[in-house]
């Protein structure tokens, strides 16, 4: 494994829109052979999954009042709040997809490093969370392109919990499925669980120590490193203008269809926004924090025009590969949600 230095002109980049586009460039364009790691910090911002509806997941008036960025990442997963007390780690794996969807594999170096720093109760929990004393401080996600992929997540060190709780509006069903009543009760910072001197470190100091622990070196200079070049940044900048630095990408459109239903399943939250005409689905859009390497538009197309009955919806869903394009879920579960 090697480190990919994403600083620019010798200074760290905090712009969340820029940082969230890096994995796409590294996987699709630069393609450094092997297993690379990036570790960066975003300015105060809300990051949403590629398939999420910003209008349903985020308190947009509060976001605009606090002048927070809204950024859509290129992978799945849920909405999260980032600030200078939070780290984002991503593994960039080129030319080998053996460990795609294996969250535990990529979580283990982080877990081992935090154990070494004194947080002995850190462990992997559920589909893609890293927890300490049953409280989540890291959520992970992935996306895949051919035989290459990016796998990473957040690491809450000293995040502003008050702002996070106010700007994020997770669906009640998702929280109830986890047996909790509020966001504050299910997340925590890792800082209080660390031994000294790590507990008293600034985020910048902790980031350096974390890297040294992950790579098992005494000095940062001992880590094999690729530094993004001026040419790399020229390409990254051009992609931002075309897509990632646009409201169309980050906010998306609120289709405003008549019906909205949502439920949390083992694969994550699945939501349907749809309209009916003559008891048939006339418009439909799928949202959620599920993580898939497939194409959910194939499911939308299969449902468009379907009779809004148990048999009609079941027949439509059986014509598409749900597991490949959404996740391991039975057609009847989605039918029941739609009819609810």
- The CA-atom distances, in angstroms, between 69 and each of 43, 46, 63, 269 are 8, 6, 8, 24
Contact yes or no for 254/240 (Cβ under 8 A): no
Beta bridge partner(s), residue 275: 283
Q: What is the pLDDT of residue 38?
A: 98
**DSSP-derived 3-state class of residue 340:** coil
- The CA-atom distances, in angstroms, between 288 and each of 43, 91, 270, 297 are 25, 23, 5, 13
For residue range 78-113, what is the model confidence (pLDDT) as tens digits? 889 999 999 999 999 999 999 999 999 999 999 999
pTM: 0.80
**DSSP-derived 3-state class of residue 263:** strand
Q: What is the pLDDT of residue 82?
A: 96
How far apart (Å, rounded) are the C-alpha atoms in residues 152 and 103? 9
How far apart (Å, rounded) are the C-alpha atoms in residues 22 and 13? 11
Q: What is the pLDDT of residue 170?
A: 59
Q: How remote is the C-alpha of 287 from its chain's centroid?
A: 14
Domains belonging to the chain, first-starting first, are 2-250 (3.30.930.10), 259-339 (3.30.390.50)
- The mean of the pLDDT values for the chain is 92
Alpha helices, DSSP H, located in the chain: 16-25, 54-57, 60-65, 103-116, 161-167, 172-177, 203-215, 230-239, 247-250, 297-303, 310-317, 322-325, 331-339
pLDDT tens for each residue of the chain, 340 residues long:
999 999 999 999 999 999 999 999 999 999 999 999 999 999 999 999 999 988 888 999 999 999 999 999 888 888 899 999 999 999 999 999 999 999 999 999 999 999 999 999 999 998 899 999 999 999 999 999 999 999 999 999 999 999 999 998 755 555 454 443 344 458 899 999 999 999 999 999 999 999 999 999 999 999 999 999 999 999 999 989 888 999 899 998 877 778 888 898 999 889 898 999 999 999 999 998 888 889 999 999 999 999 999 999 999 999 999 999 999 999 999 999 999 8
How far apart (Å, rounded) are the C-alpha atoms in residues 128 and 137? 11
**DSSP-derived 3-state class of residue 337:** helix
């Amino acid at each position: 494994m090697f480190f990919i230095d994403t600083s620019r002109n010798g200074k760290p980049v905090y712009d969340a829109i820029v940082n969230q586009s890096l994995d796409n460039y590294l996987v699709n364009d630069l393609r450094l052979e092997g297993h690379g790691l990036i570790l960066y910090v975003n300015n105060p911002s809300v990051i949403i999954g590629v398939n999420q509806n910003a209008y349903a997941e985020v308190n947009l008036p509060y976001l605009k009042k606090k002048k927070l960025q809204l950024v859509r990442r290129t992978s799945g997963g849920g909405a999260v709040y980032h600030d200078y007390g939070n780290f984002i780690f991503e593994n960039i794996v080129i030319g080998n997809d053996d460990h795609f969807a294996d969250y535990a594999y990529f979580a283990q170096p982080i877990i081992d490093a935090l154990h070494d720093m004194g947080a002995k109760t850190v462990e992997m929990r559920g589909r893609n969370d890293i927890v300490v004393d049953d409280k989540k401080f890291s959520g992970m996600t992935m996306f895949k392109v051919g035989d290459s992929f990016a796998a990473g997540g957040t690491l809450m060190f000293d995040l502003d919990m008050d702002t996070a709780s106010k700007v994020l509006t997770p669906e009640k069903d998702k929280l109830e499925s986890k047996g909790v009543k509020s966001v504050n009760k299910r997340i925590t910072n890792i800082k209080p669980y660390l031994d000294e001197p790590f507990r008293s470190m600034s985020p910048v100091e902790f980031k350096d120590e974390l890297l040294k622990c992950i790579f098992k070196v005494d000095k940062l200079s001992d880590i094999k490193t690729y530094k993004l070049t001026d040419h790399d940044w020229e390409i990254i900048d051009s992609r931002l203008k075309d897509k990632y630095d646009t409201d169309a990408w980050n906010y998306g459109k609120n289709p405003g269809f008549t019906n909205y239903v949502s439920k949390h399943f083992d694969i994550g939250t699945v939501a349907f926004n749809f309209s009916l005409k003559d008891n048939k689905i006339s418009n439909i859009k799928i949202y959620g924090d599920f993580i898939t390497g497939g194409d959910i538009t194939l499911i939308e197309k299969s449902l468009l025009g379907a009779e809004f009955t148990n048999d009609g919806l079941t027949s439509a869903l059986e014509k598409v590969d749900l597991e490949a394009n959404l996740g391991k879920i039975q057609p009847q579960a989605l039918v029941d949600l739609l009819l609810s």
